[in-house]
Structure 1
């Protein structure tokens, strides 16, 4: 799905701002049939949960309604008029006037509705959007809903971040010609015989037959290659590669032409020329070994919740540059497209993850003390769950396939990969991912319960991403034991599978301002010592390719005795103030980055 852009043949109107807002319990049965009866207004983009002082809104389970008037520009006569939602968490229904024009399930990927037949250029229409935050065993991420004795609906889920909901990303109205470009796929490479030549395979889909011409432009707008036809390969001589920390982007200008040769639609897609490969126990970008330094992150900030904010985007990337991070994982869902584009422009490497977090009922048993249930069964996570998971993979790859920053797909976080049924569940999903994009490695993040001895799916994947908390949840406060446990664990994976290994999560909750001269959990000193113990173990594993600390910044979670004011494993506070660990990581990562390896060398040596 192409992101709306302003081009010579397309225009767009941003619909962000204040919308009328109401929860379903305060509206009649069909709130889209007239003006929404409410005094409340909610900003778009933003999660709605933290905006209001009424706990009934924060804790609401079910539908909420957004509404506003929209005027179609009068110059759009004869064009297709499209509504685009960058995301609606987790399900949506869209009405133009009284007409349902779109439904979507999945909280972190975009969807559209062609509303040409329901609107008129120059006139206004009433736009009503219902957003549903419910999670079940048929959604990704999953959850369950119960009803309390007093009749309240209560949502539970197994992921450790708050279930923020609403229109957390932008909404657009745009136009495109009757004959238009529907999709573009770009796959880049380096000529094996001449490393100064980049190859650009492209595929263009149009909604009806049309002649296609493409041109590749460099950063100065100069044409460096051109081609005819909907499919082909361009060659760029003296190519400037997209590299981690040194991004170089080109533009692919795609034109659809009518029978008379006139341009009927044009769309520009940025791209970078680079290759990604797993070879033995190395992860290679442009044929050179790459070592990941960075974080698991969250789209999370005070008041806005998961609402996208360009100020936080810029500041977070500045902090990552300051600390020496070269990468991050989109834990645990696809982030806003603006984030991916920023990573493209600034040379930050991304592991792109679906919202498949919580596929592990052993976590439920451990937290609640309830009898264990099988994770994969007809009554728990089943064929319907896998169908939703497959759709999440399709939509993620469709959206992000052309981003040079994206070097790997992560299709799940901490699934019950050690349980019976895991292979039957995941094998078709891995095959689907490879079919949709055979150019990028595929991974998943393994939970503590899954070891090299009992994991049932690790051989299906290219890179082993391991989540481990020795020294926090295991051997708490005993870092010598934790370091030994961790090294033994990692060696087991390395020896059995012979694949690249990286730590996709490791961290310790830390209350800023709490100090001690001893190894005391929750203190800033302990977080530093914990990280150092992990790093000593990492540096002794030859197959090790990277470290992503959990987490970049403190973030909000569900209420409960397990979390006080959210998860405090950030090396920055939720307000983005550094803890002592941030300075310690900066010293390590800038030192690693200063050791520039020769081609094929391990930069940690």
Structure 2
């Protein structure tokens, strides 16, 4: 689905703010069908935001099940078009009612929920909007999980990913007007030769219009660069401004549809950039030039907000990325908000776009804290149902982000169990599926350290090797000399085996801000810097390494446990974005490359 954008034919009403709120703590809401009338009580909740950190009641923070949101909404009297409800995300499943009547649902917590409610509302009148958010994860979810009923009758959510299972309406909720005949989708591809850019498009409408007009506009001043017509075709851009890392460089493809009388039916502007991405040997090329990734795996995670989107917090993060010299990031471990991706497109930030397929590894959780043994790829764990959900998630992600120049690669999973033969049967069809949906970008996944070179069974299927390694922390802790030896040995083995580019997508050590030691004691800021330096010496010695994305940009909240005290502390910045010594070190390295 296209990102909704205002135009001559489309209008928007943002519904963010304080909503009536009802957590279904006793799990009776469905039996009582509480959505048929106004929600009981007077509790409220902010939208967008995660539920978990807002309330003092621990039952709400740790609730497993449904949370209900409700508000009254006025449909503008001037809207004589279709009325669409769109929510940027609802984690992990949403059901929507209008005046007590169910109108739609969506499963998958990190991609948009979009429901056509035209037949259920009237322009100029108010309706009652109810949204139920379900935070439960099951075996066939992406990410997967298991709901366990405890002896006292309460539910416990088990999951194998190493970040907190925040829930709620995490991104903006909006009411949109859309023409009855509308642009359903458009695919834009680009190339260039010398100073001439070539833009190709294929547009899909809900109904075929009489005519379609195409304009290429300068994104900065909306001047017309080129014109054409038709649902598909291509045009040239003379003296093209290439989309360039660190700079950006956007155009808009304006698509206007008309009826037989020449009346405008729909108009949509889709931003795009002219650039080419390729993998050649052990190089990753953007516009024909070798690109070296510097940056982080990140999380949508802030105090109070949890995973709720905030433009102000987002801007602060991007300013810190610029300050430290990062040119790229991975959306670990799920798709990020439209607003976040728009900023990357605008400012030339290179993105590895990742699905929410994290935790597909039954022996571990984020590499360290699993307590269950058993095979991963077996019925009831990761099986055909999981694979079908995974396939749908890949399709939704590509449909949303395929036109974004910032996205240079798809990452279809994080740290799955690829040390077993069954992994190949699971992943081979998904790699083929991803390439069938988008042949213009490389495909990868991030490989866990328990599936090293010679053990992993799937990496030859992918275009780029992305490695998460914690030698010197989870293995050979504090022995940085040994960590260097093991890391270099493995990287050189991968290099000899596959002759493909390698990006270190995770490496790091938990660090308590303000803890100092002259002896490089683990958890101290000095040890974190020494750890980074040890890894960097190896990166610089192995030609196949074409990127370093430290784990993590900032400390973030996780499940509590003996290995996690108030979250994961591997950040270069604290959770409230204060720099550790590692940030200064990375700034010096990355801004002088």
> TM-score by structure 1 length?
0.96
Q: CA RMSD in A?
A: 1.2
Question: Residues 301, 496 of structure 1: CA spacing in aligned structure 2 closer, same or farther, 3 A cutoff?
Answer: same
Unmatched 5+ stretches in structure 1: 593-605
| CA shift for structure 1 position 223 | 1.1
Question: Residues 506, 163 of structure 1: CA spacing in aligned structure 2 closer, same or farther, 3 A cutoff?
Answer: same
**1:205 correspondence with 2:204:** yes
SS state at 2:63 partner: coil
Query: 1: distance between equivalents of 2:372 and 2:264?
Result: 65
Contact 2:363 2:371 in 1 (8 A): no
Contact 2:559 2:567 in 1 (8 A): yes
How far does the alpha carbon of each residue in 1:164-202 deviate from its partner, in whole angstroms, 9 at most, with x for none? 0010001110111111111111111113xxx10111111
| CA shift for structure 1 position 103 | 0.9
Q: Which residue of 2 aligns with 1:92?
A: 94
Q: Which residue of 1 aligns with 2:9?
A: 9
| CA shift for structure 1 position 475 | 1.0
Contact 2:302 2:575 in 1 (8 A): yes
| CA shift for structure 1 position 111 | 2.1
| CA shift for structure 1 position 367 | 5.4
How do 1:372-521 and structure 2 match up within 5 A?
372-521=373-522
SS state at 2:584 partner: helix
Query: 2: distance between equivalents of 1:99 and 1:506?
Result: 49
Query: 2: distance between equivalents of 1:535 and 1:468?
Result: 13
Q: Which residue of 1 aligns with 2:56?
A: 53
How far does the alpha carbon of each residue in 1:501-550 deviate from its partner, in whole angstroms, 9 at most, with x for none? 01000010000110111121000000000000000000011111100000
How far does the alpha carbon of each residue in 1:5-35 deviate from its partner, in whole angstroms, 9 at most, with x for none? 2111111100111101111136642121111
Contact 1:365 1:371 in 2 (8 A): no
| CA shift for structure 1 position 76 | 0.6
How far does the alpha carbon of each residue in 1:16-66 deviate from its partner, in whole angstroms, 9 at most, with x for none? 111011111366421211111022111110010110000000000011100
Q: Which residue of 2 aligns with 1:133?
A: 135
How do 1:263-278 and structure 2 match up within 5 A?
263-278=264-279
| CA shift for structure 1 position 370 | 4.9
Query: 2: distance between equivalents of 1:44 and 1:69?
Result: 14
How do 1:183-194 and structure 2 match up within 5 A?
183-191=185-193
Q: Which residue of 2 aligns with 1:35?
A: 38
Query: 2: distance between equivalents of 1:282 and 1:155?
Result: 42
Query: 2: distance between equivalents of 1:341 and 1:101?
Result: 29
Q: Which residue of 1 aligns with 2:163?
A: 161
Q: Which residue of 2 aligns with 1:355?
A: 356
**1:588 correspondence with 2:589:** yes
Contact 2:162 2:366 in 1 (8 A): no
Contact 1:20 1:41 in 2 (8 A): yes
How far does the alpha carbon of each residue in 1:90-122 deviate from its partner, in whole angstroms, 9 at most, with x for none? 001000112111111000001211111100000
SS state at 1:362 partner: coil
Q: Which residue of 2 aligns with 1:595?
A: none
Q: Which residue of 2 aligns with 1:527?
A: 528
Contact 1:141 1:357 in 2 (8 A): yes
Q: Which residue of 2 aligns with 1:300?
A: 301
Question: Residues 402, 367 of structure 1: CA spacing in aligned structure 2 closer, same or farther, 3 A cutoff?
Answer: closer
Contact 1:188 1:198 in 2 (8 A): yes
Question: Residues 310, 545 of structure 1: CA spacing in aligned structure 2 closer, same or farther, 3 A cutoff?
Answer: same
| CA shift for structure 1 position 372 | 2.5
SS state at 1:252 partner: strand
Unmatched 5+ stretches in structure 2: none
Query: 2: distance between equivalents of 1:480 and 1:147?
Result: 47
Query: 1: distance between equivalents of 2:421 and 2:248?
Result: 44
Q: Which residue of 2 aligns with 1:21?
A: 21
Contact 1:89 1:167 in 2 (8 A): yes
Q: Which residue of 2 aligns with 1:64?
A: 67
Query: 2: distance between equivalents of 1:264 and 1:445?
Result: 44
SS state at 1:363 partner: coil
| CA shift for structure 1 position 136 | 1.1
Question: Residues 370, 239 of structure 1: CA spacing in aligned structure 2 closer, same or farther, 3 A cutoff?
Answer: closer
| CA shift for structure 1 position 151 | 1.1
Question: Residues 100, 541 of structure 1: CA spacing in aligned structure 2 closer, same or farther, 3 A cutoff?
Answer: same
Contact 2:49 2:305 in 1 (8 A): yes
Query: 1: distance between equivalents of 2:55 and 2:259?
Result: 52
> TM-score by structure 2 length?
0.98
Question: Residues 217, 583 of structure 1: CA spacing in aligned structure 2 closer, same or farther, 3 A cutoff?
Answer: same
Q: Which residue of 1 aligns with 2:122?
A: 120
| CA shift for structure 1 position 379 | 2.4
Q: How many residues align?
A: 588
Q: Which moved more, 1:32-41 or 1:340-349?
A: 32-41
Which of 42, 52, 74 is the aligned partner of 2:77?
A: 74
Query: 2: distance between equivalents of 1:206 and 1:323?
Result: 44
How far does the alpha carbon of each residue in 1:226-284 deviate from its partner, in whole angstroms, 9 at most, with x for none? 11110011110100000001111111111011012222110111111101000111000
Query: 2: distance between equivalents of 1:499 and 1:2?
Result: 33
How far does the alpha carbon of each residue in 1:370-393 deviate from its partner, in whole angstroms, 9 at most, with x for none? 563110011211000001100110
Contact 1:376 1:420 in 2 (8 A): no
SS state at 1:242 partner: coil
Query: 2: distance between equivalents of 1:315 and 1:213?
Result: 39
